[in-house]
A and B are shown apart, each in its own frame.
Chain A
Amino acid sequence: MSCNFTEKLSPMMDGELEREEAEQVKLHLSSCLICQQAQLDFLNLREQIKSHPYEPDASAQRQAIKRILRSEQTPFWQRKITLPVPVFSLMMLALFAFVAWSVYSRVTRPGATVPVGNYAYQDGLDLSRFDKGGRAVIYTTKR
């Protein structure tokens, strides 16, 4: 059994319905057993979720804030790099090829310049998603 008003019970419980609509739903509730049961079930679920037993771990909380304020980071040279052998080999090969090409290009193009403005086309970036007509703003901020 179902009722068309049941779906509106959910936003009504959350205070997200317009006043007039909420009044209509309340009026319907007074005579619809299906919706009354649904509302009871929804409220029961709310109680279950809200009363989920959670005891804060004070020690973990203290450790967490200490770590954050110290912002400890594993130094780069102590981090592990885990790669499958074929992937690692391909990467090394690509790196060697790039180094060789760099050396070659410097030898054959003395005084080569950084190609300022010579950008490769990659994934597009649509500027209109940022543009809401606002005026440019510039300011300084402490690091």
Chain B
Amino acid sequence: MNTRAKLILILLALVSSMMSGSRLRSTKASPVASDLKRMQFQIATIREHAGERTIISSSVIEGPPGTDFDIDIQGERFKMNAKFLTDFDQSNVLAIRAKLQTRRLYGYSPQGLPLYEEDEQSPALRLGLDEDIILLPFGRGSGEDRLKIEITPAMTEEPVYSPSGELRPLTINILKISPDGIVNIRASKIPHHYEAEARLLEDGREIARASANLLFEEAQELLLRSDTQAIAVKLKINEFIRSRPSDQVAINFDIHRADKSGNTREPVGLNWSGVARLGADINYDLSERYAKKYELRFNIKIAKGEIVD
């Protein structure tokens, strides 16, 4: 290898070591299994035209398993937000819950007001690490020009926690910037797995209890049976809110009165919501719907084994 080539290689190695990603958050956390490795998502926005592929933008997100990311495309007449909640389980399967929201300027009303065409999809995907996710924001199309987003997951060799026990920070490396800022990538790591406990109290005395494991943004039913009655609570965690002294979650739930077997539902309260501090009780008074004083009490914690920041 000649001197010039050696020099170039050394300089490139130096430059790439400088171009490390952002440090968003870094707090001490309890270390989990040291063999847990970080995941990587390569996100490339590609134009396919006349048999040629042109990369418009490219980014690499790196973080612990369960890292979520958003891809936003913003044009003059079109807007898309694609949200990806990822979970990686021990069987080497990546479970992704995607939420695609698109908004397109359709035209103008007779009064000159803009009319929009909106669409929302929530597909669930399961894939191995030898597969890619392909997102076509404008569909498969029949023309020569197509915009495609390729998401390539991979497992890195880097452990999730540093030797000191700190969670390594999430990084986003922007390898190629999209023109006019049309494509934006965001990443975050929030807990996905929770343990929820619901208790029914009659005049301050607990008469029924149920618990369940909850997955972020997925509703789960808890059936609380007492001697005389049963209520079914369909609970969902909508949002994780970083806060001090402790983090919070926004919840949403429906309450139905059920017979002892859990069937024959009669709505008691629909679409109730609230913000609960993790590990602390949150109460809902059901008294106006019943003769006695009844309370529904929730306590939500992050599930064991969940990677916390």
A124 to B184 alpha-carbon distance, docked (Å): 15
- Are A132 and B134 neighbours in the complex by a CB distance under 8 Å? no
- Residues of chain A contacted by B23 (CB below 8 angstroms): 111-113
By a CB distance below 8 angstroms, the chain B residues around A125 are 47, 56, 178-180, 182
In whole angstroms, how far apart are the Cα atoms of A119 and B142 in the complex? 31
Q: Is A134 a contact of B139 with CB atoms below 8 Å?
A: yes
A135 to nearest B CB, angstroms? 5
Choose among B123, B131, B171, B181 the residue that contacts A141 (Cβ–Cβ < 8 A): B131
Smallest beta-carbon distance A122→chain B, Å? 4
CA distance A135 to B120 in the complex (A): 10
Given A99-B14, A99-B15: A137 and B77 interface contact (C-beta under 8 Å): no
Contact flags B125-151 to A (C-beta < 8 A → 1, else 0): 111001111111111111101110000
Size category of the binding interface on chain A: 35 or more
Question: Is the CB of B8 closer than 8 A to any CB of chain A?
Answer: yes
Closest chain B residue, CB of each to CB of A138: B135
Q: What is the CB-to-nearest-CB distance from B191 to chain A, in angstroms, rounded to a whole number? A: 22
Q: Are B22 and A116 in contact (CB under 8 A)?
A: yes
Query: A140 to nearest B CB, angstroms?
Result: 4
Interface 1/0s, chain B 1-36, versus A by CB < 8 A? 100110111010011001101111000000000000
Which of B96-104, B157-165, B197-205, B232-240 is near enough to bind chain A?
A: B96-104
Nearest A residue to B59 via CB reads A116
A117-138 near B? 1/0 per residue, CB < 8 Å: 1011111111111111111111
User: Is A102 an interface position by the 8 A CB rule?
Assistant: yes
Cα distance A127–B49 when bound, in Å? 13
- Asked if B134 and A141 sit within 8 Å, CB to CB, the answer is yes
Chain B residues, Cβ within 8 Å of A42: none
Please, which residue of chain A has its CB at the minimum distance from the CB of B77? A128
Nearest Cβ on chain B to A138's Cβ, whole angstroms:
5
Q: Which residues of A contact B (CB under 8 A)?
A: 77, 81, 88, 92, 95-96, 98-99, 102-103, 106, 111-114, 116-117, 119-143
